A and B are shown apart, each in its own frame.
Chain A
Amino acid sequence: MATLIIAEHNNSELQAATFNTIAAAKELSGETVVLVAGHNCQAVADEAAKAEGVDKVLLAEAEHYAHLLAEDLDKLVVEQAENFTHVLAPATTFGKNIAPRIAALLDVQQISDIIAIESDDTFKRPVYAGNAIATVKSNDGKKVITVRATAFDALSHEGGSASVESIGTTEHGALVDYVGEELTESERPELTSAKVIVSGGRGMGSGENFAMLEQLADKLGAAVGASRAAVDAGFVPNDYQVGQTGKIVAPELYIAVGISGAIQHLAGMKDSKVIVAINKDEEAPIFQVADYGLVADLFKVVPELVESL
């Protein structure tokens, strides 16, 4: 038994969800090995080697791995998978993009977005927008799994002393060429790992009004999120979206402002420890999951809240 984790990184540091995935791997039997594939990414391998719970790091350096494209990494992972019973990736857009390709090449049924490990072959995962939890047993020889980061507490980033071993690389498949990226600039904490999140919905009325939530977020050291309605209305970029089809979050405190609480939004945040809802409609479904609800005009109470913190 041994587990291979496909590291998500930007060639200079690991993405936070990789550490949660390492934590999930520690609940499985056997060694935990992290595969760092990228370009000029020695620093990432060194970072992984220092992480608690990592037994070994495999480093694959090639120019065509620079953007972690699934069509180039899949064959590399499949080659390495020979020595492993489990292959794990974080259930981020990176992991979701690549893991099914690996599973199909290995001819196994992948298990998506697990929230708990019952044993080496049995896992819990949410279905129907989180309205049901399925316990699934895999009868495949190898398990290819994506891990919901918020369901596993990350181990320490320090204290480990794994060895780093360079491995051979695979050819560039030339199916896909990278053109460019447009990343959202933000000084605030990353949405999926933030302890506090302030989210706005259609009730915010405009993108300008999100400045109010940003003030509140800054007071709380929080990240800013949004419902689909707010994204579709163009108030904020797509990657702010919390929900079944956006990001899944589970912070200590989630403040939903002007969000009605559709099933699809709740799927992304109902595992938050404390939920606060601010909405003028007392019938809004968000109040059914809120620990503290305030029925009021957000334009009046949000500035008041900022003032009182």
Chain B
Amino acid sequence: MKILVAIKRVIDANVKVRVKADNTGVETANVKMSMNPFCEIAVEEAVRLKEKGVASEVIAVSIGNQQCQESLRTALALGADRAILVKSEDELEPLAVAKVLKTVVEKEQPEMVLLGKQSIDGDNNQTGQMLGALLGWGQGTFASKVEVADGKAQVTREIDGGLQTLSVKLPAIITTDLRLNEPRFASLPNIMKAKRKPLDELAIADLGVDVAPRTETLTVENPPARKEGIKVETVAELVDKLKNEAKVI
């Protein structure tokens, strides 16, 4: 079967983001960008399914500006067969992303779409579920284990109280949680080979999808600062502070 993996280029997880002085957003100029960590896990899972003989082809897709090519090349170096870049200069909302992905799904006809459970910039955790609804497919969100057999995906999901297992009819949406797998690193020869793998570009305007924003971001501010703390020397002092100063025990 064919697997489509959606990936997003985001500010690297280890960067401490800075809010712009005019409160319109966060600084993105000269900031290290990387593939969203949950998307790396999605690529890894797709590649593992291919290595197991479950998947025949893995297609990576990303929506964004020209630099998103780099993330797609990374996915190709990790084992994806080909890539699609849907070019858009605007940052799209999850609903618009889901609609764009739906057009790609209709064209490519994959039996599974793998996405990360959330991107670490917007922290929305919506796109996979929205795509599932738009396609009328079932979803295995927050997956920590995926097994494919008999036209179904058996998905173990991380839920608040523990783990839940569902059997989802294919075609289906799977969104990845942290513990699904440990993504591999791209080797140098694979990075070189990835440069020759096909990468198609589509212009978002040609897809006929309404991507107009539905929300406006009025301001982006720093979270309230915590007041500076103190260091205590002993356990007795700590207990005293918690009892008499903070009054929390």
Contacts and interface: CB of A to CB of B under 8 A. Distances in A.
B52 interface: no
Interface stretch (A21-29, A79-87, A154-162, A231-239): A231-239
Contacts of A109: 93-95, 213-215
B236 A104 contact: no
Interface string A194-207: 00100000000000
B218 A135 contact: yes
B248 A273 contact: yes
A176 B138 contact: yes
A128 to B, nearest CB: 5
Contacts of B130: 100-101, 103-104, 110
A56 B217 CA distance: 33
A251 to B, nearest CB: 9
B230 A293 contact: yes
B1 to A, nearest CB: 17
B207 interface: no
A104 B129 contact: yes
A132 B220 contact: yes
A294 interface: yes
A288 to B, nearest CB: 8
B179 interface: yes
Interface string B1-35: 00000000001011011010000001000000000
Contacts of B158: 93, 238-239
Contacts of A102: 133
Contact of B11 (A100, A128, A174): A128
Interface residues of A, number: 88
Interface in A218-254: 220, 228, 231-232, 237-239, 244-245, 247, 252-253
Interface in B195-249: 213-223, 226-227, 229-236, 238-239, 241-242, 246, 248-249
B98 interface: yes
B167 interface: yes
Contact of A100 (B13, B133, B159, B234): B133
B121 to A, nearest CB: 6
B123 A179 contact: no
A8 to B, nearest CB: 9
A132 B157 CA distance: 29
Nearest to A221: B249
B162 interface: yes
Interface in B102-137: 117-118, 120-134, 136-137
A245 B121 CA distance: 12
Contact of B230 (A110, A122, A129, A291): A291
Given A101-B132, A238-B163, A111 B215 contact: yes
A153 interface: no
B89 to A, nearest CB: 19
Q: Which of A74, A107, A110, A308 has the most CB of B within 10 A?
A: A110
B123 A127 contact: yes
Interface in A61-86: 67, 69-71, 74
B150 interface: no
A96 B125 contact: yes
B177 A245 contact: yes
Nearest to B234: A294
A305 interface: yes
B179 to A, nearest CB: 6
A11 interface: no
A183 B13 CA distance: 30
B16 A131 contact: yes
A104 B133 contact: yes
B161 A293 contact: no
Contacts of B138: 71, 173, 175-176
B164 A181 contact: yes
A92 B158 CA distance: 11
Given A71-B139, A96-B125, A132 B179 contact: no
B88 interface: no
Contacts of A117: none
A150 to B, nearest CB: 14
Nearest to A243: B178
B223 A309 contact: no
B141 interface: yes
Contacts of B179: 231-232, 238
B166 interface: yes
B233 to A, nearest CB: 8
Contact of B229 (A122, A292, A308, A309): A292
B146 interface: no
B162 A136 contact: no
Looking at A140, A232, A245, the one whose CB has the most chain B CB atoms below 10 A away is A245
B169 interface: yes
B248 A253 contact: yes
7 contacts: A100-B130, A109-B214, A129-B120, A136-B215, A140-B215, A239-B158, A292-B229
Given A138-B214, A274-B242, 13 more contacts: A67-B164, A93-B142, A101-B129, A110-B94, A137-B215, A139-B214, A176-B166, A179-B154, A238-B158, A244-B123, A275-B229, A293-B231, A294-B238
